[in-house]
Structure 1
Amino acid sequence: MSTESLKRGLYYTALWAISLLFFAPIAWIVLASFKTRADILAVPPKLLFTPTLENYVELFNRQGIFLQLANSIFLSLGAVIIAVLVSFLAAFCFSRFRPKGTDFLMFLLLSIRMLPGPAVILPVFLMYVAFGWKDTHLWLMLFYAMFSIPFSVWILKGFLDGVSTRFDETGIVNGGSWFHVIFKVVLPQVRPGLIAAFIFNMIFVWNEFLFNFIIGGVTTQNIPYALAVGTYADGGVNWTFISTMTSIYIILPIAFIFFFQKYLLVGMTFGTVRGEV
Structure 2
Amino acid sequence: MSHRLRTWTYYGVLWLVSLLFFSPVAWIILSSFKTRNDILATPPKLVFTPTLDNYIDLFTRNTSFLLQLGNSILLSVSAVVIAVFVSFLAAFCFSRFKPKGTDFLMFLLLSIRMLPGPAVILPVFLMYVAFGWKDNHLALILFYAMFSIPFSVWILKGFLDGVSTRFDETGRVNGGSWFHVIFKVVLPQVKPGLIAAFIFNLIFVWNEFLFNFIIGGVTTQNIPYALAVGAYSDGGLNWTFISALTSIYIVPPVLFIYFFQKYLLVGMTFGTVRGEV
Partner of 1:46: 45
User: Are 2:156 and 2:270, in contact at CA under 8 Å, matched by a contact in 1?
Assistant: yes
Matched, 1:259 2:254: no
Once the two structures are superposed, residues 14-39 of structure 1 have per-residue CA deviations (whole angstroms, 9 ceiling, x without a partner) of 00000000000000000000000000
**Residue 158 (structure 2) aligns with:** 158
How many residues are matched? 274
Partners of 2:68 and 2:220 within 8 A in 1: yes
Structure 2 equivalent of residue 183 of structure 1: 183
1:274, distance to aligned residue in structure 2 (A): 3.5
Query: Aligned residue for 1:221?
Result: 221
Query: C-alpha distance in 2, partners of 1:235/1:133?
Result: 35
Offset of 1:154 from its aligned partner? Answer: 0.1
Identify the residue that residue 12 of structure 2 maps to in structure 1: 13
Q: Does 1:26 align with 2:22?
A: no
In the TM superposition, what are the counterparts of 1:124-203 in structure 2 within 5 Å? 124-203=124-203
CA shift, 1:260, in A, is: 0.1
**What is the Cα-based RMSD across aligned positions, in Å?**
0.8
Give the distance between the partners of 1:196 and 1:270, measured in 2 at CA. 9
Contact 2:266 2:274 in 1 (8 A): no
* Residue 57 of structure 1 pairs with residue 20 of structure 2: no
CA–CA separation in structure 2 for the residues paired with 1:157 and 1:49 = 52
Report how far residue 273 of structure 1 moved.
2.6
Distance 1:254 1:211 in 2: 23
Equivalences for residues 241-256 of structure 1 within 5 A = 241-256=241-256
* Structure 2 residue identity aligned to 1:42: A
Cα offset for 1:144?
0.2
Amino acid at match of 2:16: A
Matches of 1:274 and 1:217, distance apart in 2: 43
The 2-side partners of 1:197 and 1:53 are apart by 36
Task: Report the counterpart of residue 206 of structure 1 in structure 2.
Answer: 206
Q: What is the TM-score of this pair, normalised by structure 1?
A: 0.98
- For 1:231 and 1:248, the matched residues in 2 are separated by 15
Distance 1:90 1:221 in 2: 31
Cα distance in structure 2, aligned partners of 1:274 and 1:53: 46
TM-score w.r.t. the length of structure 2 is 0.98
CA deviation after TM superposition for structure 1 residue 197, in Å: 0.1
1:47 counterpart letter in structure 2: L
Identical aligned pairs, as a percentage?
81
Shift of 1:272: 1.6
Q: Following the alignment from structure 1 to structure 2, what is the Cα–Cα distance between the partners of residues 31 and 108?
A: 45
Letter of the aligned partner of 1:12 in structure 2? Y
Which residues of structure 1 form unaligned runs of 5+? none
